Structure 1
Amino acid sequence: MQAGNSSQNAQDGGNEAVIAVLTNLPDADTAAKLSRALLEARVCACVNRLAPVESEYWWQGKLEQATEWPLLAKTTRGQYSAVEAVIRANHPYDVPEIIAWPVSQGFGPYLAWVRGEVTRAEQHKD
């Protein structure tokens, strides 16, 4: 694929719109396993395992603090439910953070690559 210099609105295309999905894990090994599960399920094109972060949050009436490892998956709006299902099936938390937001703008060839990988995976599931 030849990369051009154009950016494009990533929200074009309804279910083909590119989204980013974030979740946090309690340790690096669990993050690596979930990243691999998402990719092997072919529900996203790419997963970034980010550097650990310090999280503070309320849980069961108490203020908690934990080191967590974020995962950022790039997929399409149409695959959100499948991504959520894989995360829920492989996540150790009772109530995992699973949030998604649209990629409003991006490098056109990259967005096309994300869409292409997800579409290719959907076509080979039969």
Structure 2
Amino acid sequence: MHSRHRLMLCTCPDPETARTLAERLVEERLAACVSLLPGATSVYRWEDAIQQDTETQMLIKTSCGRIEELTARLRELHPYEVPEIIAVPITEGLSDYLSWVDSCTTS
């Protein structure tokens, strides 16, 4: 099944950075809504060492047509050298909500 909507995941180093990015994405109609989940602990390998950091997880709701531009904008604005940018298809959801996502991400 082809889905017209995506949930994008992106972590940020702190709540302020996440809030700034979220505001830009919504202002630019690349995202309908960005939920910020501060206090996430990420354990990962970077430069051949195990790292652990507290980050803010961004849950970005958008439409398929905005993925490429949204990804490019995150790469441009994000402070990480290699930011987490993952898209997950939304296969089910309240039709009124998904219609709202469409209306908010139409340029």
Name the TM tier (shorter chain). over 0.9
Q: Does 1:48 align with 2:35?
A: yes
Distance 1:98 1:88, change over 3 A: same
- The 8 Å contact of residues 24 and 97 in structure 1, kept in 2 or not, is answered as yes
**Root-mean-square deviation (CA), in Å?**
1.3
Match of 1:95, SS?
coil
Instruction: State the partner residue of 2:93.
Output: 106
- State, as a whole percentage, how many aligned pairs show the same letter: 38
CA distance in 2, matches of 1:52, 1:99: 19
1:82 deviates by 1.1
Q: Report SS of the residue matched to 2:93.
A: strand
Aligned 1:56-67 pairs, distance under 5 A: 56-67=43-54
Q: Which runs of 5+ in 2 are unaligned?
A: none
Give the deviation of 1:118 after TM superposition. 1.2
> Which structure: larger Rg?
1
Q: Distance in 2 between matches of 1:86 and 1:95?
A: 13
Q: Which of residues 32, 36, 39 in structure 1 aligns to 2:23? A: 36
Unaligned runs of 5+ in 1: 1-8, 12-16
Aligned pairs, number: 107
Structure 1 runs, 4 residues or longer, greater than 3 Å off? none
Match of 2:5 in 1: 18
Distance in 2 (alpha carbons) for counterparts of 1:38 and 1:81: 13
TM-score w.r.t. structure 2 length? 0.94
Q: Deviations over 1:23-72 (max 9, x none)?
A: 00001111111111111111111111113211100000000000010111
The letter for the 2-side match of 1:104 is: T
